[in-house]
Amino acid sequence: MKKRYYVLLIMTFTTGLYLGFIFKNVPFFELNTKIDIVAAGNLLLVLFLALLIPLYVTDKLGDKRSEKNLLIEELVILCQKLERINNFLESRADQTFSAEDFIKTLSLFKSARQHLWSIETALTQLEQTEVTNQTNELKKKITAYWESVTGPKGIKKNDSYTLKRTFLFSLHLPYEHTQSHARKLKFIINKA
Amino acid sequence: MNKYIEINVSHDFTDAPGARNPQDGPDSGEVFYNRLLLPKFEEALKTKSILLVDMDGTFGYATSFISESFGSLSMKFGPELVLKNIKIKSDEDDGLKTYIKSTIKNPEKA
């Protein structure tokens, strides 16, 4: 994009030089020296816009903007799903965590994980290395959060199990890492 | 043409798998391993078949369940033999298949 811009700039400048040369030296043309400066400015502005619109605006419009917006919306939904898991666990702090709560937590994780994996193809189709790398990183973070909650030290499907507040403190970091990576990915997609 | 022996977790075991051990509650990974995964895998080896484990149809899995069941299988038979003779089906959670395979490859980590 930048290369095209510089080439165009050089071409415009060179054409200007040639035109100046022709007007000055070729006898069939007579230059009117009493030019209306506003009219000349308007002409230049029109020419400038005529070049700018196809080069800059059209490129921006065709820049997968709608796909990017959709993907960002999907990431917002993912963040909400993660927040739902966190809020649900927090609501059970220092309380008995029933088998039903255990199943609900697994189901929420399944939904959040599948959400990310389902948009992965669309994310990689943006063909941006940074987006692909960050998507893989987000997959690792969400898996690490899942492991922290449901791993050997995590929740049990046992009606006598209590979800201790100290255990919930240990989940803050993996949860926050996942959320912050999702946010980072949104910014990267927006800039891509 | 490969022959298949199938385990459908939701149908043959439960649609709400538990955590690691029976002390952690019912339908644990250890119970799944002893009751289904190990005998079916041994049968698959004996009959030169592939063990197809269908993970779909459940509410979800705890990582402790996966590490206890698939990790134990890998510890007993070695990652190569297990990966060669097992196939995981998970259309409902695309990432689960990769996770189980990585658990089989690194069972001690789990």
With an 8 Å Cβ cutoff, are B93 and A110 in contact? Answer: yes
Q: Which residues of B touch A (CB under 8 A)?
A: 16-20, 23-28, 59-65, 67, 92-96, 99
pLDDT tens per residue across span B46-83:
999 999 999 999 999 999 999 999 999 999 999 999 99
Query: CA torsion sign, A39 to A42 to A47 to A50?
Result: negative
DSSP tag of A163: E
Q: What is the mean pLDDT of chain B?
A: 95
Residue B3's pLDDT band, with cuts at 50, 70 and 90, is: very high
A46-55 residue pLDDT tens: 888 777 776 6
Task: Answer yes or no: is pLDDT of B110 > 60.
Answer: no
**CA-to-CA dists, residue A2 to A8, A55, A75, A150, B100, angstroms:** 10, 11, 31, 50, 46
Rounded to 5 degrees, φ, ψ at B52 are -100, 115
Are A1 and A62 within 8 A, CB to CB? no
The contact set of A with B (CB < 8 A) is: 99, 102-103, 105-110, 113-114, 116-118, 120, 139, 143, 146-147, 150-152, 154-159, 161
Chain A residues near residue B26 by CB distance under 8 angstroms = 99, 157
Task: Give me the mean pLDDT over the B74-101 stretch.
Answer: 95
Residues in chain A with pLDDT values less than 70: 1-2, 27-33, 54-63
Q: Are B29 and B18 in contact (CB under 8 A)?
A: yes
pLDDT score of B1: 67
The half-sphere exposure of A137 on its side-chain side, counting CA atoms within 13 A, is 16
Provide the 10 A C-beta neighbour count for residue B37.
23
Which residue from A102, A113, A156 is facing B93, i.e. has the nearest CB? Answer: A113
Give yes or no for a contact between A183 and A86, defined as CB atoms under 8 angstroms apart: no
> The pTM is what?
0.78
